[in-house]
């Protein structure tokens, strides 16, 4: 009886929700009229509610782009804020249709969790933030320092690897919720706060005195952050993947939200195909032929969302770096639409 009880409770928490996952996700999404998008609890620039309580950020824009492609309405999205611990369970149980939540693409996640990574929206790497007054200049000085970390992240593993590889004493305090991690660092429980360096910049911008904190030069890991969908639904995976490629392709072709209507009359065949003037690229995805036009019109291209959310002119102030297009020295690259 005890075992049966456990099975009921566990199955009830995971099994019931997953029933919806059996049907084609696109049909479900069209039937309910919006996309359920899993985001962070608030990482400025990536996904966070602004002063008017509207979700903004580069990852939020990705979900809006999917909504634009499907519904021609960038607001047909509802956001669920998830902790690192909850995110994969929420995705595989069908609570969210797409997970766009600073999630690092790793082999074990891609192959063992029943989920598929769509692409790399943001190339990131793990860094360390410390207080200026401590006079630390390198991550190699951190032996024995107390380190605040969010639970259930690649960060937890990378840091353990880095400290072991360099023979340093490792000393962590692990919290479930990112807010508590930051608060514990601010209150002095830890000497170091470690996570993806973009998120460090985002958190630092929210501190009362950002200049009291520095981000150390070492980047200790590759953190390709990207959206994730449930494995097994090829159509939904393709919509997610080509939404991301459309954002890049639009930037590469110089099509932006400002000029997209003009570009409808362009003679460039690549632009014609992107905007659905020529060819049939929407139907195989189960979408309107103007799917990419809608994305660009309502959300913009990759450069626009980058500049608006995390670029040099924002409080977060990140240069494009690796996230520039391939022809500009970065590694963002989309296969051609043809």
Partner 1 sequence: MTTLDTGQQTAPRASFFNDPVIRGVIYQVVVAALIISFILWIIGNTAANLAAQNKTTGFDFLWRTAGFDISFSLLPWSRASYYWEAFLVGLLNTVLVAVVGIFFATILGFTIGIARLSTNFIVSSLATIYIEVIRNIPLLLQLFFWYFAVLKAMPAVRNSFELPFDSFINQRGIMIPRPIPDEQFGFVWLGLALAVIGVVVLRYWAKKRLEATGQRFPVFLTSVAILFGVTAFVFWISGASVAFEIPVLERFNFRGGLQLPPEFVALAFGLTIYTAAFIAETVRAGIQAVNHGQTEAAASLGLKDADRLRLVIVPQAMRVIIPPLTSQYLNLTKNSSLGAAIGYPELVNVFAGTSLNQTGRAIECIAIVMLVYLTFSLLTSAIMNWYNARVKLVER
Q: Pick from 74, 124, 67: which is nearest to 98 by CA? A: 67
Check residue 286 for interaction with partner 1 (CB under 8 A): no
Over the window 62 to 101, marking each residue x when it contacts partner 1 by CB under 8 A and - when it does not, the resulting string is ----------------------xx--xx--x---------
CA-to-CA distance for 129 and 145, rounded, in angstroms? 12
Q: Nearest distance from residue 190's CB to partner 1, in Å?
A: 9
Of residues 48, 59, 97, 35, the one with CA closest to residue 244:
59
List binders of partner 1 among 177-216 (CB under 8 A). Answer: 177, 180, 183-184, 187-189, 191
Q: How far is CA 267 from CA 258, 291, 337, in A?
A: 18, 19, 16
Span of 97-105, 160-168, 194-202, 318-326 interacting with partner 1 by CB under 8 A? 160-168
C-beta of 69 vs 91, nearer to partner 1: 91
Q: How many CB atoms lie within 10 A of CB 10?
A: 10
10 is an interface residue for partner 1 by CB under 8 A: yes
Q: Applying CB under 8 A, which of residues 16, 258, 283, 331 lies at the interface with partner 1?
A: 16
Measured between alpha carbons, how far is 291 from 244 in angstroms, rounded to an integer?
A: 12
DSSP 239-254: HHHHHHHHHHHHHHHT
Query: Counting Cβ atoms within 10 Å, is residue 132 exposed (0-12), middle (13-18) or buried (19+)?
Result: exposed
Q: Does 23 bind partner 1 (CB under 8 A)?
A: no
Residue 222 interacting with partner 1 (CB under 8 A):
no
Considering only 49, 168, 174, 272, the residue that binds partner 1 (CB under 8 A) is: 174
Q: Which of 66, 68, 145, 255 binds partner 1 (CB under 8 A)?
A: 145
User: How far apart, in whole angstroms, are the C-alpha atoms of residue 289 and residue 69?
Assistant: 9
- State the minimum distance, in angstroms, from the CB of residue 296 to partner 1: 34
Q: Which is nearer to partner 1, 18 or 215 (CB)?
A: 18
Please say whether the beta carbons of 98 and 37 come within 8 A.
yes
The nearer residue to partner 1, 179 or 328, going by C-beta atoms, is 179
Closest CA to 264 of 253, 277, 252: 277
- List contacts with partner 1 (CB under 8 A): 2, 4, 6-16, 18-19, 21-22, 84-85, 88-89, 92, 108-109, 111-114, 144-146, 151-153, 156-157, 159-161, 164, 170-177, 180, 183-184, 187-189, 191, 230-232
């Amino acid at each position: 009886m005890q075992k049966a009880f456990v099975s009921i409770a566990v199955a009830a928490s995971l099994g019931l929700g997953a029933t919806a996952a059996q049907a084609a996700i696109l049909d479900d999404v069209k039937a309910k009229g919006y996309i359920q998008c899993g985001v962070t609890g608030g990482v400025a620039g990536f996904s966070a509610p602004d002063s008017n309580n509207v979700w903004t950020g580069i990852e939020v824009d990705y979900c809006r782009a999917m909504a634009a492609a499907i519904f021609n309405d960038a607001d047909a999205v509802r956001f669920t804020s998830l902790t690192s611990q909850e995110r994969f369970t929420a995705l595989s149980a069908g609570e969210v249709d797409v997970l766009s939540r600073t999630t690092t693409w790793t082999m074990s996640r891609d192959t063992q969790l029943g989920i598929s990574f769509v692409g790399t929206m943001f190339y990131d790497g793990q860094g360390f933030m410390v207080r200026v007054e401590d006079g630390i200049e390198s991550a190699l000085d951190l032996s024995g320092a107390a380190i605040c970390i969010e639970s259930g992240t690649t960060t937890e593993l990378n840091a353990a690897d880095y400290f072991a590889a360099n023979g340093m004493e490792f000393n962590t305090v692990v919290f479930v919720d990112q807010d508590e991690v930051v608060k514990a660092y601010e209150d002095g429980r830890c000497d170091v706060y470690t996570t993806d360096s973009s998120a460090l910049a985002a958190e630092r911008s929210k501190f009362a005195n950002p200049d009291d904190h520095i981000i150390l030069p070492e980047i200790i890991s590759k953190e390709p952050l990207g959206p994730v969908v449930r494995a097994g639904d090829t159509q939904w995976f393709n919509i997610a993947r080509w939404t991301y490629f459309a954002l890049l392709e639009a930037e590469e072709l110089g099509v932006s939200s400002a000029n997209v209507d003009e570009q409808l009359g362009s003679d460039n065949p690549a632009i014609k195909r992107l905007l659905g003037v020529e060819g049939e690229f929407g139907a195989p995805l189960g979408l309107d032929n103007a799917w990419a036009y809608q994305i660009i019109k309502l959300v913009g291209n990759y450069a626009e969302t980058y500049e608006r959310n995390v670029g040099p002119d924002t409080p977060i102030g990140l240069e494009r770096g690796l996230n520039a297009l391939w022809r500009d020295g970065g590694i963002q690259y989309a296969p051609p639409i043809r």
